[in-house]
Amino acid sequence: MATAVGIVWGVTFVSSKVLINAGMQPAEIMTLRFFLAYLCMLPFSLSGEGERRLFASSLKDELLLVLLGVSGGSLYFLLENYALVYTQASNVSILIATTPLWTMLASALFLKDGSVRPRTVLFSLVALSGVVIVVLNGRMELHLHPLGDLLTLGAALTWVLYSIILRWVEGRYPVVFITRKLFFYGILTMLPFFAFKPWGTTWAILCQAPVLANLIFLGIVASFLGYVGWNLAQSRLGPVSMNLYLFLNPIATAIVAVPVLGEQFTWVTAAGTLLILGGMYLVMKE
């Protein structure tokens, strides 16, 4: 399940690029995909008492669920997508790929996770080096753009916060309830953004076949199935092991970008892929 989500989320970068090229704003894409996912969650929210509940057992837990919607939804997507305005896509891809390393540090500090060892970090760096190779694909064009790079780093740390909060609440509430609240608060906390940058996507854009197909993929497959799958898998694997599967993102992106965006999959990409998979395998053996 973790592998499937890691691959699907890698494809979302290509799918989102198609929608942006069609004239949609990143914030609009995130809002529509979460809205579709929330609609898909509703039938499952009627299946049991725990899933049907409207609020958490305490104000503290409800606030944690709000933070899940922000860290795993609105703020994460805003930081990641608007970082592209100020820095190169390669910078964003590589800095986002540092998320597993930050998760290891956060888990050791806040969750007292004893599974994080020096060898674990070393093997993760091997996988990260593969990410760098896949993203750059032989082009040594990585430049520092402080604002954009800081926004990207903020997105990575925001996802780490999501992983830690999810670990705190996952044992007390059903995954269906947690994921539904995540989508709801993700949408709710995104709405104020449109007061500063009004909604611009028209029905004419939404009715285009490629736009509609990619929105359905992002909303139902990547968000509804993706977040449910991610949250279920993390409850079994823990945040450190789970976030390692984010290393699969650039592999899936590179492969799907060949037929969709006309990009090339070279021997350099293949070598980077082997490094990623090798590093992940060594970490998991630990």
Per-residue pLDDT reduced to its tens digit, 11-26: 887 788 888 888 898 8
Average pLDDT value for the chain: 83
Instruction: Classify residue 267 by burial, with Cβ atoms within 10 Å: 0-12, 13-18, 19+.
Output: exposed
At 138 the pLDDT is: 57
Which residues make Cβ contacts (< 8 Å) with residue 14, sequence separation at least 6? 253, 256, 257, 260, 261
At 237 the pLDDT is: 87
**What is the rounded CA–CA span in Å between residue 159 and residue 246?**
11
The better pLDDT of the pair 270, 196 is held by 196
Give the Cβ contact number of residue 218 at 10 Å.
26
Residue of 8, 68, 14 lying closest to 224 (CA atoms):
8
pTM recorded for the entire structure: 0.83
**What is the rounded CA–CA span in Å between residue 149 and residue 93?**
10
Residue of 203, 222, 211 lying closest to 73 (CA atoms):
222
Domain boundaries, the chain: 2-285
**What is the rounded CA–CA span in Å between residue 24 and residue 18?**
9
pLDDT above 80 for 182: yes
pLDDT above 70 for 195: yes
**What is the rounded CA–CA span in Å between residue 95 and residue 150?**
9
Per-residue pLDDT reduced to its tens digit, 183-193: 999 999 999 99
Per-residue pLDDT reduced to its tens digit, 94-149: 777 788 888 888 887 777 765 667 777 777 787 777 777 766 665 555 555 677 77
**What is the rounded CA–CA span in Å between residue 33 and residue 40?**
11
Per-residue pLDDT reduced to its tens digit, 204-244: 999 999 999 999 999 999 999 999 999 999 988 888 888 88
The better pLDDT of the pair 147, 91 is held by 147
At 69 the pLDDT is: 95
Quote the tokens at residue 184.
């709801």
Quote the tokens at residue 52.
């049907």
- The fraction of the chain above a pLDDT of 90, given in percent, is 36
Give me the DSSP letters along 83-137.
HHHHS-HHHHHHHHTTHHHHHHHHHHHHS--TT--HHHHHHHHHHHHHHHHHHHT
At 143 the pLDDT is: 54
The better pLDDT of the pair 262, 170 is held by 170
Cα angle 21, 158, 132 (rounded to 5 degrees) comes to 65
Main-chain phi, psi angles of 170, to 5 degrees: -65, -25
At 81 the pLDDT is: 80
State the DSSP code for 74.
I
For residue 199, CA distances in Å to 101, 239, 249 come to: 36, 35, 29
H or E element at residue 156? helix 146-169
**What is the rounded CA–CA span in Å between residue 90 and residue 97?**
11
At 126 the pLDDT is: 78
* Residue type, position 66, single letter: V
For residue 25, CA distances in Å to 9, 140, 199, 223, 224 come to: 19, 29, 8, 18, 21
